[in-house]
Amino acid sequence: MADQKENVKFQDENKPQRNGSDSSAHSKPSCTQSGLTENDAHGPAASRGEFSNPVYKEIALANGHINRMNKDELRRKLSELKLETRGAKDVLKKRLKNYYKKQKLMQAVVTENSSTDTYYDYICVVDFEATCEENNPPDYLHEIIEFPMVLVNTHTLEIEDTFQEYVKPEINTNLSDFCVQLTGITQKTVDGADTFPTVLQKVVDWLQSKELGTKYKYAVLTDGAWDMSKFLNIQCRISRIRYPQFAKKWINIRKAYGNFYKLPRTRTKLSTMLEMLGMKYEGRPHCGLDDSRNIARIAMRMLQDGCPLRVNERMHAGQLMSVPSTARDEGAPAPRSPSCRS
């Protein structure tokens, strides 16, 4: 449901959030190692006297070479690197310089630290599909109709396993034509599916079988705040069950992506993130499992680029809150069976 969630996600993430501030709002350096920070890669470091590291000489030499390239040479080089080749000559120069600057800074970090720092052994990517109308009224209750999970091993940077279950809605029992067309989920599919509490129990069983929260440290990752703060929150109230503890904190990849690559939120749509990383969408858009796979590809590339993804949002008393980058993070708790609301 990426297109249906875009506007609301953007509005949600730009609202003030309680209990800690969004790190992007204060331009705090993150992924700091050996004195090289994101601000070094993209900010005016000269004014701070941070050009003492030898890597900056290499960057200056690369910039000089790029300045001498003509437009055709710039396009060929960008094409080789699977980067966007459209734009004016100055735009192409800037794009190529930014690429080499980031690569050389990341290489310096890896050289000094020998491996990428990760907070979790596994990341569970979730991207729900839910009931919807073409023009949802303000009081419309979205119900989850697809619950996918993609399990990423942060050490091997591979998708280790996937989970997918469809869900039978209780209120909007008849899917709209728009919903069917958007998601590809048919009325027959949801009619034959289990209700949400049963599906959530299957999710818990699957996570437990992977020994997550017991043997291995893990975190949930989503494309924005909407999936957990809205879809799951509303669904748990509809199904009269408590919000699961393992999903109360998560990594909002849009925040992490924007902070790490120093990009505005308007450039953190799924399709845009893939394109900027030189990748194309694989599968069927708005299929929850395919969306989750593509989000996982972005997460793996970010880890490869040197960004240690970590929890940056949480739910508390039914409210969405930011998690400061300085907060202690022990990963999600071991999943437990869903319980009824009192």
Q: Domain locations in the chain?
A: 55-109, 122-322
Q: What are the residue ranges of helices labelled H in 210-242?
A: 226, 233-238
Q: What does the CA dihedral 281, 282, 283, 285 come to, rounded to 10 degrees? A: -10
Nearest-angstrom CA–CA distance, 293 and 181: 21
- The pairing of strands 158-166 and 144-153 is antiparallel
The residues annotated as belonging to the active site are 129, 286
- Which CATH architecture group holds 55-109? Orthogonal Bundle (1.10)
Crossing angle for the helix pair 89-113 and 71-80, to the nearest 10 degrees: 40
Q: Do domains 55-109 and 122-322 have the same CATH topology?
A: no
How much is the pTM? 0.72
Residue 204 CA to its chain's centroid (Å) = 22
Q: Which fold has domain 122-322?
A: Nucleotidyltransferase; domain 5 (3.30.420)
Nearest-angstrom CA–CA distance, 10 and 45: 30
Nearest-angstrom CA–CA distance, 276 and 83: 7
Tokens 């990849």 map to which residue?
Answer: 253
In this structure, are residues 108 and 41 in contact, taking their beta carbons and an 8 Å threshold?
no
Residue 106 CA to its chain's centroid (Å) = 20
| Residue 117: closest CA among 187, 32, 181 | 32
pLDDT by residue, tens only, the chain of 342 residues:
655 565 444 444 444 455 544 443 333 334 333 333 333 334 434 434 445 567 788 888 888 989 999 999 999 999 988 887 877 787 688 788 888 888 877 776 654 543 445 689 999 999 999 999 999 888 899 999 999 999 999 999 999 999 999 999 999 999 999 999 999 999 999 999 999 999 999 999 999 999 999 999 999 999 999 999 999 999 999 999 999 999 999 999 999 999 989 888 888 999 999 998 889 999 999 999 999 999 999 999 999 888 889 999 999 988 999 999 888 878 999 999 999 986
